[in-house]
A and B are shown apart, each in its own frame.
Chain A
Amino acid sequence: DAKTTQPPSMDCAEGRAANLPCNHSTISGNEYVYWYRQIHSQGPQYIIHGLKNNETNEMASLIITEDRKSSTLILPHATLRDTAVYYCIVRATGANSKLTFGKGITLSVRP
Chain B
Amino acid sequence: KAGVTQTPRYLIKTRGQQVTLSCSPISGHRSVSWYQQTPGQGLQFLFEYFSETQRNKGNFPGRFSGRQFSNSRSEMNVSTLELGDSALYLCASSLRLAGGRTDTQYFGPGTRLTVL
Contacts and interface: CB of A to CB of B under 8 A. Distances in A.
A110 B88 CA distance: 28
Contacts of A36: 107
B104 to A, nearest CB: 6
Interface residues of B, number: 28
From B43, B44, B58, B109, name the one whose CB has the most chain A CB atoms within 10 angstroms.
B43
Given A97-B94, A98-B48, A46 B105 contact: yes
Contact of B90 (A43, A87, A93): A43
Contact of A43 (B101, B102, B107): B107
Contacts of B104: 34, 46, 49
Given A41-B112, A45-B107, A46-B106, 15 more contacts: A46-B105, A46-B107, A93-B101, A96-B56, A97-B33, A97-B48, A97-B55, A97-B56, A98-B33, A98-B48, A99-B43, A99-B105, A100-B45, A101-B43, A102-B42
B94 A98 contact: no
A50 B40 CA distance: 30
A43 B33 CA distance: 13
A93 B101 CA distance: 6
Contacts of A101: 35, 42-44
From A34, A49, A101, name the one whose CB has the most chain B CB atoms within 10 angstroms.
A101
B25 interface: no
Interface residues of A, number: 21
A44 interface: yes
Contacts of A95: 55-56, 99-102
Contacts of A42: 109-110
Given A43-B108, A97-B56, A98-B58, A103 B88 contact: no
A43 B102 CA distance: 19
Contacts of B44: 101
Contact of A97 (B4, B42, B102): B102
